Amino acid sequence: MRIVTIMLILSLAPNFGFGQNSISGKIIDELGLPIYLATVEISDTEHTAYTNFDGIFTLISEKDFHWKINIKSKGYKTESFFVLSGGDTGEIVLEYDAEMRKLIEGQ
């Protein structure tokens, strides 16, 4: 009986976690280069993450899924989308804003 009880507790242990939900992904520009220090935030909350040198982020929140995510970085258009479940978002491409496009095109 003791073994059954221990097995039951161990099988339920992941369900007693911290109650945190998370997503991760990579933010790149139109040329495929990683964007450093892009802000990734859940709309209407204080939950924020920033990308590292490789453009990778991990956003963690106690809030249940169906998040509206906003991604911002200077020189790029703000991107918003909905997240319905956790995991890896893959690569997210940010488009250049008008000012940055002028600089790149040399106008």
- Residue range 19-48: average pLDDT? 94
Q: Count the helices and strands in the chain (H runs, E runs).
A: 2, 7
Q: Where are the domains of the chain?
A: 19-105
pLDDT at residue 11 in the model: 59
Instruction: Determine the residue type at 63.
Output: K
List the one residue out of 25, 28, 18 whose CA is nearest residue 61. Answer: 18
pLDDT at residue 54 in the model: 97
Q: Which residue has the higher pLDDT, 16 or 58?
A: 58
* Contact between residue 47 and residue 60 where contact means Cβ atoms under 8 Å apart: yes
Question: 19-105: which CATH number, 2.60.40.10, 1.10.287.110, 1.20.120.430, 3.40.50.720?
Answer: 2.60.40.10
> Is the pTM above the cut of 0.85?
no
| Percent of the chain surpassing pLDDT 90 | 75
Q: How far is CA 31 from the centre of its chain?
A: 20
* Contact between residue 35 and residue 73 where contact means Cβ atoms under 8 Å apart: yes
